[in-house]
Amino acid sequence: MRRIIALFAILLMLQPVFATINIVTESDKFTLRAGSIEKIALPVFSDVDDTIVLTLDAPSWVALSDIQIPIKSFQTVNVNLSLSPSPVTTEGRYKITLIADSLSTDSSFKWDFFVNVIKESGVRADKILVKGDFLSDSNVTIETYLHNYADVSISDTEINIRISSPTKEVLNIKKFIEKINPGETKVLIQVMHLPEIAESGTYFIDVDYAFDGKSRHESQQFVVPKKPVFRQRVDEFSIIIGTGKHVFIINIGNVPGEYTYSDDVNLFFYGDEPSRREGNRAVWSMIIGSGEMKEIKYETNYSILLLIIILAAIVFWTMSHKKKIFYIKKYVIKNTKIEEGSELRIGISIENTTGRELSDVVIRDFVPSAFKVLSASSNGTVKKTSLGTQIKWNLGKMAKNEQFVFTYDIKALLGVSGVLALPRVMAEHITHKGKIEIKSIPATIGELEQKMKEE
């Protein structure tokens, strides 16, 4: 005979006037034939010392092995519930109520369950179990337990399973069992996928089955709650200097809901502004409607860091090389009004701060024909041309940090009114890159001296 195991859990809390009593069972529906006997084991548990009184509201063929149970704290006591409908018991479904009362407290709990009494033999759907989280885009598993109560095998049992949402039929499938032996239980497993944005409410399961010309029906139901269901996808991408993330969040649930996304970020974060910061984490919170998708895009961009490094390198190079430059400047030592016959002294300064010795250093200057060169210091050679006079100094090698000052005197051959800019002096030297030439800024009579540096 098939045994049906039920769990009866009674929890008594340590309170002077109240305790919690609870009953947990796998099913509240049982089936047996008239004239048969079934026993259901009920484990009774308490977390305090107590006496539990059990009361039945049931037909006479339902009985308990004990009705007053002394129980110690954290002790389990098994009580047998006997079901023994006589052969003349009317076929049908019976509602039975079991009440548990605590003598130590005012707690009470009522458990209703149902017993199907059948007289004719054949196949019966003892129970239909529904499993799943019942959310959008998830699977619901329906297990139908078909038991053969006949004394002979039953062949060719046809089963039709229909599932309906609150507004429409969502599944209609037929199954076939070739043979069920006497006393055997066949379990039909049907998996139904709830779609995205699944309709909320009560879903009804109708199981119609037929055998040997007889038809029977059983039903069950489950509830799809109103709840958002989120799916998240993160696409990572690279940029020239850094990385980024593109986050897609879609709500496939049947109601709007709040979604929170967070990630570690640093000083180089750039992108969609987060709702708040929690230390090094950026947190985005958003309300997403049913069927709606929202995006978050952000980067860790090191371009600013690279720019800072480049600027620092430029500053460092400038600071470390600012004295490693070849200087030359031209200036007027004695500035007077330019009248016919007036004499001027021109100065040329050159300094080797390149940090190395220079070779084949030559200085060239040019004096316009409005002036006559009177003399040139340091053995400067003077050469007159049709346009004026050229002065040249051949220095040869010039040691690092070495400095020279040259002068020459000129006389104005005619008067000049206003300001006169003299030609720029030029210096050249030979390096491994070839000939290098630099020029000074023109010396201006009446203005401050200026200089030019070799880049």
Residue 139 lies in a domain: yes
Same domain, 357 and 448: yes
| CATH number for 445 | 2.60.40.290
Whether the pLDDT of residue 365 is over 90: the answer is yes
Residue length of the chain: 455
Residue 10 lies in a domain: no
Determine contact, residues 374/411, Cβ cutoff 8 Å.
Answer: yes
Provide the 8-state DSSP code for 339: -
Same domain, 248 and 193: no
Same domain, 280 and 351: no
Residues 6+ apart with CB under 8 A from 87: 34, 35, 119
Whether the pLDDT of residue 8 is over 50: the answer is no
Residue 3 lies in a domain: no
What residue has token string 């070739």? 178
Residue 369 lies in a domain: yes
| CATH number for 83 | 2.60.40.10
Same domain, 144 and 107: no
**What average pLDDT does this structure show over 200-209?**
96
Of 303, 318, 339, the last residue of a domain is 303
Of 91-100, 131-140, 256-265, 286-295, the one with minimum mean pLDDT is 91-100
Same domain, 64 and 164: no
Same domain, 243 and 289: yes
Strands 29-33 and 108-118: parallel
Determine contact, residues 205/188, Cβ cutoff 8 Å.
Answer: no
Q: With CA atoms as reference, report the closest residue to 124 among 159, 98, 94.
A: 159
Same domain, 147 and 183: yes
Domain count, the chain: 4
What is the Cα–Cα distance from 250 to 233, expressed in whole angstroms?
Answer: 9
Same domain, 352 and 399: yes
**What average pLDDT does this structure show over 142-150?**
92
Residue 297 lies in a domain: yes
pLDDT for 400 equals 87
What residue has token string 């031209």? 330
Of 194, 224, 254, the last residue of a domain is 224
Same domain, 342 and 431: yes
Confidence tier at 447 by pLDDT (50, 70, 90): very low
Of 224, 254, 273, the last residue of a domain is 224
Type and span of the H or E element at 148: strand 138-148
Phi, then psi, of 313 in degrees rounded to 5: -65, -40
Phi, then psi, of 183 in degrees rounded to 5: 75, 0
Whether the pLDDT of residue 225 is over 80: the answer is yes
Of 7-16, 91-100, 267-276, 391-400, the one with minimum mean pLDDT is 7-16
What is the Cα–Cα distance from 137 to 48, expressed in whole angstroms?
Answer: 44
What is the Cα–Cα distance from 94 to 111, expressed in whole angstroms?
Answer: 14
pLDDT for 22 equals 53
Same domain, 235 and 219: no
What is the Cα–Cα distance from 270 to 307, expressed in whole angstroms?
Answer: 16
pTM as predicted? 0.53
Same domain, 279 and 389: no
Residues 25-82 have pLDDT tens digits of: 566 778 877 777 888 887 877 777 888 888 899 898 999 988 888 888 877 788 888 9
Tokens representing 22? 């609870």
- Domain that includes residue 271, residue range: 230-303
Cα separation values, 311 from 216, 302, 305, 324, Å: 86, 14, 10, 20
Tokens representing 153? 């095998």
Same domain, 238 and 185: no
Query: How far is CA 336 from its chain centroid?
Result: 78
What is the identity of the amino acid at 274? Answer: P
**What average pLDDT does this structure show over 268-280?**
92
Determine contact, residues 369/387, Cβ cutoff 8 Å.
Answer: yes
